């Protein structure tokens, strides 16, 4: 069967063969032209006017007032035609769904038959090719029966046979690849045509509904698009690290099934709650192809200050009394959380300024602030072994089983998700991370976006330090050492790419939970603490390696 006969057109679409669907769209367009369509156009125009920097305020006001008058008229027309539009939409969708279902069943049936034909042709061609290859190889081997007059001729005959055998194998593999590619091309074309048949309905209904869809239609579109774009090789490459980690957790659970107890699960969530603040903070820096090495030292600084302020005892530092015992709970709470945020924002802002202004890599700027902040804390507090928070206050803030910390972390996740996905600043973050020069040319202020990311990270570190202090209730400047490695590793495992411009808040959350659970499981089943470094190092290496492979594939 010829390739062309297999790839002939599938069942003709009703949207191209029947005029009634064009008539519905034409009628709807006419009813919406001075109503809904004009309303949308005027709203978009008002938005563009507001963003236009070349217009002064008075001109903007006049233009918007004029558009608003026209907008009121458009709304009136829209309301007048609302019932007609609704009835026409309902009729168009009803006929479309009924006819499309029948049409799509025929498309799927034809595609199935053509796929079977393509596979049959492939198997037939493959069998012929294997038979032909075997025959040619036998013929070539038959040359070895030739009698050589001397040793030199025997050597030449033997060499010629090897050369011809090699050439035949190359030709065989080439032809086998050719027929395999031909089969895959046919199957891919049939898959495209089936998806196109669905997209014709989706596109038509989108036009009928004025580019709106019911929730179930949106979910169906996402599901069908996922299946259409799904490739097993890419899926395995993208999720390989998760399969490895899943196997590890299964191994741990098999070794000690009590790991799945409610107490342990709550404990993992409780430990993850404070680490999430650090992961969410550094995630923004990784999104712009940066990093932050100062998290651990800033954590130590914030925990020390929080524990000192919310302590029931006075501390003598460098012959000076640091006495906050006269503060009540509310006052010490407010002062401690504000000071924790301020100290972290101060140092992240310094790193952000040098990164944004002088194009220094965050690796260097955060390494510098790490050393400076730690040095200051040690100069001030090296003589104090540890600061102890008032334990009753710590319990009040963290709640039973750290439940309050879990709630605070969920709120932080929601806020950061909103910033990343629903604000202009979030869009600018992705743009700067993807290509800072292109973002600058398009009018984005790269300096302030970068500064904003560092400041946001500082706020999150400050909150994380405060809540971590309430969780452990004791600290000194060295507390939190290595926190930056866990936070960065969590983001990398969660799919936030060091290449910049790629990542989700959910990735940072999942990565943090995975790393916390990993550490907890290793400790719980009795692994040496030093073994944890080996596991973490291997996972980070594997995650970054897979990320690099995906990046190279895109290039």
Encode pLDDT of 132-147 as tens digits.
989 888 888 776 665 6
Nearest by Cα to 362 from 295, 306, 316 = 295
**CB distance 22 to 206 below 8 Å:** no
468 token code pair: 């971590």
Neighbours of 42 (CB within 10 A): 21
436 token code pair: 């800072």
Neighbours of 290 (CB within 10 A): 24
**CB distance 145 to 188 below 8 Å:** no
Whether the per-residue pLDDT at 323 is higher than 70: the answer is yes
Higher pLDDT, 201 or 319: 201
Higher pLDDT, 174 or 522: 174
337 token code pair: 């959380």
Q: Which whole number is the average pLDDT over 397-401?
A: 92
The per-residue pLDDT for 144 is 63
CA 500 to chain centre: 11
Whether the per-residue pLDDT at 387 is higher than 70: the answer is yes
Confidence of residue 150 (pLDDT cuts 50, 70, 90): low
Q: Which whole number is the average pLDDT over 509-528?
A: 87
The per-residue pLDDT for 7 is 45
pLDDT tens digit sequence for 274-294: 999 999 999 999 999 999 999
Q: Which of 453-462, 482-491, 537-546 has the highest mean pLDDT?
A: 453-462
Output the furthest CA–CA distance in the chain (Å, rounded). 113
The per-residue pLDDT for 506 is 93
The per-residue pLDDT for 148 is 57
Helix 329-358 to helix 295-309 angle, to the nearest 10 degrees? 160
As to burial, measured by CB atoms within 10 angstroms (0-12 exposed, 13-18 middle, 19+ buried), residue 501 is: middle
pLDDT tens digit sequence for 414-431: 999 999 999 999 999 999
DSSP 8-class letter at 13: P
CA 150 to chain centre: 71
493 token code pair: 């495992």
Percent of the chain with pLDDT over 70: 95
The per-residue pLDDT for 469 is 95
Percent of the chain with pLDDT over 90: 45
Cα–Cα dist 236/381, whole Å:
50
**CB distance 96 to 88 below 8 Å:** no
Whether the per-residue pLDDT at 1 is higher than 50: the answer is no
**CB distance 486 to 289 below 8 Å:** no
**CB distance 302 to 336 below 8 Å:** no
As to burial, measured by CB atoms within 10 angstroms (0-12 exposed, 13-18 middle, 19+ buried), residue 237 is: middle
Read off φ and ψ for residue 316, nearest 5 degrees: -105, 115
The per-residue pLDDT for 146 is 59
Return the sign of the alpha-carbon dihedral for residues 306, 310, 315, 318. positive
Confidence of residue 14 (pLDDT cuts 50, 70, 90): confident
Whether the per-residue pLDDT at 37 is higher than 50: the answer is yes
Q: What is the 3-state secondary structure (H, E, C) of 477-542?
A: CCCCCCHHHHHHHHHHHCCCCCCCCCCCHHHHHHHHHHHHHHHHHHHHCCCCHHHHHHHHHHHHHH
* Residue listed under structure tokens 């499309």: 100
Whether the per-residue pLDDT at 504 is higher than 50: the answer is yes
Cα–Cα dist 27/354, whole Å:
60
Confidence of residue 554 (pLDDT cuts 50, 70, 90): low
Q: Which whole number is the average pLDDT over 335-348?
A: 97
Confidence of residue 6 (pLDDT cuts 50, 70, 90): very low
Q: Which whole number is the average pLDDT over 105-116?
A: 90
Nearest by Cα to 519 from 508, 507, 535 = 535
Beta-carbon contacts of 301 under 8 Å, excluding residues fewer than 6 positions away, are 343, 344, 373, 374, 376, 377, 465, 477
**CB distance 502 to 548 below 8 Å:** no
């Amino acid at each position: 069967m010829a390739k062309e006969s297999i790839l002939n057109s599938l069942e003709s679409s009703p949207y191209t063969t029947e005029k009634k669907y064009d008539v519905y769209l034409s009628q709807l367009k006419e009813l919406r032209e001075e109503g809904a369509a004009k309303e949308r156009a005027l709203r978009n125009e008002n938005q563009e006017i507001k963003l236009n920097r070349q217009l002064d305020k008075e001109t903007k006001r006049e233009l918007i007032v004029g558009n608003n008058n026209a907008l009121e008229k458009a709304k009136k027309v829209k309301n007048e035609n609302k019932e007609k539009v609704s009835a026409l939409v309902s009729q168009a969708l009803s006929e479309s769904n009924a006819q499309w279902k029948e049409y799509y069943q025929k498309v799927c049936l034809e595609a199935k038959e053509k796929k079977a034909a393509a596979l049959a042709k492939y198997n037939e061609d493959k069998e012929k090719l294997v038979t032909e290859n075997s025959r040619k190889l036998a013929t070539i081997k038959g040359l070895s029966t030739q009698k050589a007059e001397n040793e030199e001729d025997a050597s030449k005959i033997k060499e010629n046979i090897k050369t011809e055998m090699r050439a035949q194998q190359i030709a065989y593999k080439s032809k086998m690849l050719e027929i395999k590619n031909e089969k895959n091309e046919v199957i891919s074309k049939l898959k495209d045509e089936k998806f196109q048949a669905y997209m014709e309905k989706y596109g038509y209904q989108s036009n009928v509904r004025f580019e709106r869809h019911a929730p179930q239609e949106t979910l169906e579109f996402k599901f069908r698009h996922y299946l259409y774009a799904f490739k097993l090789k890419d899926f395995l490459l993208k999720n390989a690290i998760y399969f490895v980690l899943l196997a590890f957790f299964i191994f741990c659970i098999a070794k000690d099934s009590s790991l799945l107890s409610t107490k342990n699960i709550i404990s993992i969530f409780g430990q993850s709650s404070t680490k999430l603040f650090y992961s969410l903070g550094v995630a923004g820096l990784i999104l712009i192809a940066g990093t932050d090495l100062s998290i651990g030292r800033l954590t130590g600084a914030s925990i020390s200050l929080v524990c000192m302020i919310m302590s029931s005892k006075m501390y003598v530092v460098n012959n000076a009394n640091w006495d906050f015992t006269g503060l009540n709970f509310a006052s010490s709470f407010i002062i401690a959380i504000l000071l924790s945020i301020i100290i972290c924002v101060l140092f992240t802002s310094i790193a952000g300024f040098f990164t944004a202004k002088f194009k220094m890599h965050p690796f260097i700027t955060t390494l510098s602030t790490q050393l400076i902040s730690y040095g200051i804390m040690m100069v001030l507090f090296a003589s104090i072994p540890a600061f102890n928070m008032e334990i009753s206050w710590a319990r009040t803030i963290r709640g039973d089983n750290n439940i309050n910390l879990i709630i605070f972390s969920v709120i932080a996740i929601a806020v950061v998700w909103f910033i990343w996905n629903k604000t202009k600043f979030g869009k600018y973050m992705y743009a700067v991370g993807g290509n800072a020069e292109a973002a600058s040319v398009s009018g984005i202020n790269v300096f302030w976006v970068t500064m904003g990311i560092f400041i946001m990270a500082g706020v999150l570190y400050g909150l994380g330090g405060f809540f971590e202090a309430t969780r452990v209730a004791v600290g000194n400047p060295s507390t939190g050492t290595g926190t930056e490695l866990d936070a960065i590793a969590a983001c990398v495992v969660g799919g936030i790419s060091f290449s910049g411009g790629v990542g989700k808040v959910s990735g940072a959350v999942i990565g943090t939970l995975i790393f916390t659970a990993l550490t907890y499981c290793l400790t719980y089943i009795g692994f040496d603490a030093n073994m944890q470094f080996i596991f973490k190092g291997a996972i980070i290496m594997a995650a970054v390696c897979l990320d690099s492979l995906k990046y190279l594939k895109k290039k």
